[in-house]
Amino acid sequence: MTVKKRKAPTELSAEAIRTAALALIDRDGLAAFSTRKLGLALGCEAMAIYWYFASKDALLDAVVDELMAGVVVDPGHDWIDVLRSVAHAYRRIAHAHPHAFPLLATRRFASEGTFAFLERLFELARAQGIDDAVTARFYRVVSSYCSGFALNELATPRPGTAALRKRFARVTAVSAWLEPQHLDETFHFGLELQLAALTRTTR
């Protein structure tokens, strides 16, 4: 007796699922995300999702691809300029998708889409004569800076800290410069310090 292989549900697609997953995480938060809730949002059984993604981890990797889709590596630009552009684009993801951004900051790139992004970035560095060790060092430094800065921006102040801070004069004075209106300038300052060091290294 021949057993016919079942086909994936035609009303779904991998792209539709990952887009809906990102929208659900944006709405409810990462901790509340589940394939059961995603199935309800898509109007299907949760098991239908597994026709397209082997596991929840694979689905979350696809959400990372969705988040990174707008980060462009332009081969016509200097590698340091590209790093600068990528860094600012990465931070914009945190602002646009605060609930989903921790996926980028806490999961290693592990999908075809993210490896393709890294390949383009590293190929550009090699084409411009930058040593692989230097490429790795500054990719790690810049990406860690961007992740840490963005996660710090997304952190929610704990109740009661404002009143406590007023008891410490220097903390109060310096904290005035830690307010959100200064974050763009601070991010730019830290990023440019790193890129200036990279410029000196590559020379």
Domain identity same for 123 and 185: yes
Q: Which distant-in-sequence residues (6+ apart) come within 8 Å of 171 by Cβ?
A: 165
Instruction: Examine residue 4 and state whether it is found in any structural domain, yes or no.
Output: no
40 with 128, same domain: the answer is no
Domain presence at residue 180: yes
User: What does the pLDDT look like over 123-168, one tens digit per residue?
Assistant: 999 999 999 999 999 999 999 999 999 999 998 878 888 888 889 9
Q: What CATH number corresponds to the domain at position 18? A: 1.10.10
Cα 135 from Cα 202, distance rounded (Å) = 10
Is the pLDDT score of 46 beyond 80?
yes
Question: At a CB cut-off of 8 Å and minimum separation 6, what does 12 contact?
Answer: 42, 44, 48, 49, 51, 52
Res 4: pLDDT:
41
- Could you list the residue range(s) of the whole structural domain that residue 178 is in? 71-202
Domain match, 86 and 167 both = yes
Same domain, 27 and 124: no
What are the pLDDT digits (tens) for 78-123? 999 999 999 999 999 999 999 999 999 888 788 888 999 999 999 9
Q: Read off the amino acid at residue 61.
A: D
Q: Indicate which CATH number applies to the domain containing 102.
A: 1.10.357.10
Q: How far is CA 102 from CA 22, 43, 94, in A?
A: 12, 27, 8
Q: Distance of alpha carbon 114 from its chain centroid, rounded?
A: 10
Residue 76 lies inside a defined structural domain of this protein: yes
The pTM of the full predicted model, rounded to 2 decimals, is 0.88
Average pLDDT, the chain: 91
Whether the CB-CB separation of 116 and 74 falls below 8 Å is answered with no
In a shared domain, residues 113 and 26: no
Residue 6: inside a domain: no
Beta strands in 35-161 (DSSP E): none
- Does residue 89 sit within a domain? yes
In a domain, 62, yes or no: no
Per-residue burial over 50-74, b = 16 or more CB atoms within 10 Å of its CB, e = otherwise: eebbeebeebbbbbbbbbbeebebe
Q: Is 184 exposed, middle or buried (0-12, 13-18, 19+ CB in 10 A)?
A: exposed
195 & 105 share domain: yes
What pLDDT does 8 receive?
A: 52
**Rg of the chain over all Cα atoms, to the nearest angstrom:** 21
Q: How many domains does the chain have?
A: 2
Using a CB cutoff of 8 Å and minimum separation of 24, what contacts does 139-148 make?
Answer: 139/83, 141/194, 142/83, 142/87, 142/191, 142/194, 142/195, 143/90, 145/87, 145/190, 145/191, 145/194, 146/87, 146/90, 146/91, 146/191, 147/90, 147/104, 147/105, 148/105
